[in-house]
Amino acid sequence: MVLDPFGFEIIGSAKNGLEAVEIYESLSKKPDLIIMDHRMPIMSGIEASKIILDFDKTAKIIFASADQSVREHAKTIGAISFKNKPFDNKKLIKNIFKALKKNSITSKVEQ
């Protein structure tokens, strides 16, 4: 819902890390970006991200978690950035555009 107004399409959502891995692997068209939580049942975000990045080194992952203790770990395994909850929507959108190397953020958010 947060991303809809900015023209992003959500092509999959998961309730836990394992589901995230399964969905990612099953998608024929991979997403441009993954927004990953950390504390999830069955498999954590860190574990899921490791598997996804092993499977696809080009995958782009932004962590959005309330557990700041894994910030460095997330970056070490290859996450692009770490957003510590609670954060402003605008900051997340800015990070997404930055990750996708688009520059339209300023105009879209300011509108």
Partner 1 sequence: MTVKIEKEYSRLKDELKLKDETLQSLLELIQLRDYTPKELVNYTLEECVRLTQSKAGYLHFINPNQKSLELYTWSKDVLKICTAEKTTHYPISQAGVWADCFRIRAPIIHNDYPNLPNKKGVPEGHFPVKRHMSVPIFDGNNIVAIVGVGNKVNPYDHRDVRKLTLFAGSMWKIIRQKRIEKQIAESEVKYREAFNQTEFYKDLFIHDISNILQNIQSSIGLFPILLKSGEKSEKIDDLIEIINDQVIRGSKLINNIRKLSLIDEGGPPLEKIDLFDILYKAYKFVKKSFSNREIDITITEKRNDIFVLADNFLLDLFENLILNSVKHNQNEKINIEIKVSQNSEDMNIKIEIIDNGMGIPDVLKSQIIEGNYQKRKESKGMGLGLMLVRRLLKKYNAKFFIFDRIKDDHTKGTNFTIVFQQVK
Which residues of the shown chain bind partner 1 in the complex (CB under 8 A)? Answer: 1-2, 5, 39-44, 64, 66-67, 84-90, 111
State phi, psi for 78 to the nearest 5 degrees. 120, 10
Q: At its nearest, how many Å lie between partner 1 and the CB of residue 77?
A: 16
Phi, psi of 30 (to 5 degrees): -75, 150
Q: Name residue, tokens 């992003």.
A: 8
Cβ atoms 45, 37 nearer than 8 A:
yes
Kindly tell me which of 37 and 80 has the beta carbon lying closer to partner 1: 37
Closest distance to partner 1 from the beta carbon of 94 (Å): 13
The least distance separating partner 1 from the CB of residue 29, rounded to whole angstroms, comes to 25
